[in-house]
Amino acid sequence: MLSIGKLSGLTGVKVPTIRYYEQIGLLPKPERNEGGQRIYNHTSRERLNFIRHARELGFPLDDIRELLALSDDPDQSCDAIDAIAKRQLAEVEHRLVRLKALHKELERMIVQCTCGTVQTCRVIQVLGDHGLCAADHQKIVSHDIDQ
Amino acid sequence: MLSIGKLSGLTGVKVPTIRYYEQIGLLPKPERNEGGQRIYNHTSRERLNFIRHARELGFPLDDIRELLALSDDPDQSCDAIDAIAKRQLAEVEHRLVRLKALHKELERMIVQCTCGTVQTCRVIQVLGDHGLCAADHQKIVSHDIDQ
DNA sequence: GCTACATCCTCTAGTAACTAGAGGTTCAAG
DNA sequence: CTTGAACCTCTAGTTACTAGAGGATGTAGC
């Protein structure tokens, strides 16, 4: 029998986030006490831990929703689960490649700057003229690198 | 003298995005023709190219706004510019570290799955019990890894 | 029993950087 | 002069939360 604050402390998920997960249907609506405050049990705690861990591994909430649904049916094949995990792995690998290219380019740009005036600043020059770049981030789109 | 569509084609920035940049004050309000449609010049094009390239390198719009302001003052020292670029580099490096840890953990989890039923699925087990993880992503918070 | 004060409640709005769509106007080619 | 592409404004949606207002409830000490 846990208050939302206790559950938060035990799982490391913030109180408003727990309420948010409930709101979007990721966590079932819990019991309430006479005063109308939420009370949780061990099952809620496990489910929330699962969600948190999956978030830590970068799974989007929609995938987590699906993973939770699949995990409720223990006799099914886990192919679908595997597919989601592999998709996430591919996504992470994709981001890694882009981020490495970015890193290289940023570093190159910064190293070349001799820190004089804005007029001769290599950073500004490179940002203004893509031709000064190494070619390897030509096709990066913002979606790949945000956050 | 470019229409918004032409400018979009030349810079690779989508039409609604150009309007959005204008709306948030990143691009100055352009001239209009008699019909009320935007017309751009070479300066707009350079500025938009700069923005695009900075976005490709992962700079947030607020930083780009600052970079643009700084680049308008060619005789100033470029220390401030350098600081922004280095901050961005640090950010990218930080994300790289997290993403690598994530990648390792995801891969480990997937490899261990023997693809039987949900009941024995390693993916579900690991997600449900953080103790089954290698320790190296313990303190990742979602902010580090989103997108 | 009473008083603080922490914790809880709901609701709305804000974040980043766009994207999508509705509903209407203007431009350019044939 | 028509037709269809391109343009216009405005609103709302995306992801995964976070912040804050304004008020109710729970709990510890006296």
Q: What is the three-state SS of A76-129?
A: CECHHHHHHHHHHHHHHHHHHHHHHHHHHHHHHHHHHCCCCEHHHCHHHHHHHC
Question: For position A135, what pLDDT does the model report?
Answer: 56
Nearest of A108, A125, A133, A117 to residue B80 by alpha carbon: A117
Answer whether residue B69 is part of any domain. Answer: no
Chain A's closest residue to B86, CA to CA, is A110
Answer whether residue A8 is part of any domain. Answer: yes
Q: Which amino acid is at B25?
A: G
Answer whether residue B67 is part of any domain. Answer: no
Whether the predicted pLDDT of B33 surpasses 90:
yes
Question: For position A76, what pLDDT does the model report?
Answer: 85
Is the distance between the Cβ of B6 and the closest atom of strand D smaller than 7 Å?
yes
Number of domains in chain A: 2
Answer whether residue B74 is part of any domain. Answer: no
Q: Which positions of chain D lie under 7 Å from any protein Cβ? A: 6-10, 15-20, 24-26
| pLDDT tens readout for residues B104-130 | 999 999 998 877 788 888 899 889 887
The residue segments making up the domain with residue B123 are 79-145
CB pairs A-B closer than 8 Å: 192
Contacts of B16 (CB under 8 A, 6+ apart): none
Answer whether residue B41 is part of any domain. Answer: yes
Of the partner residues B78, B107, B130, the one whose CB lies closest to the CB of residue A121: B78
Question: For position B115, what pLDDT does the model report?
Answer: 76
Q: Are residues B53 and B83 in the same domain?
A: no
| pLDDT tens readout for residues A125-138 | 889 877 777 655 64
Is A106's CB within 8 Å of B95's CB?
no
For residue B133, the chain A residues in CB contact (below 8 A) are: 53
* Boundary (domain end) residue, out of A37, A59, A81: A59
| pLDDT tens readout for residues A78-100 | 889 999 999 999 999 999 999 99
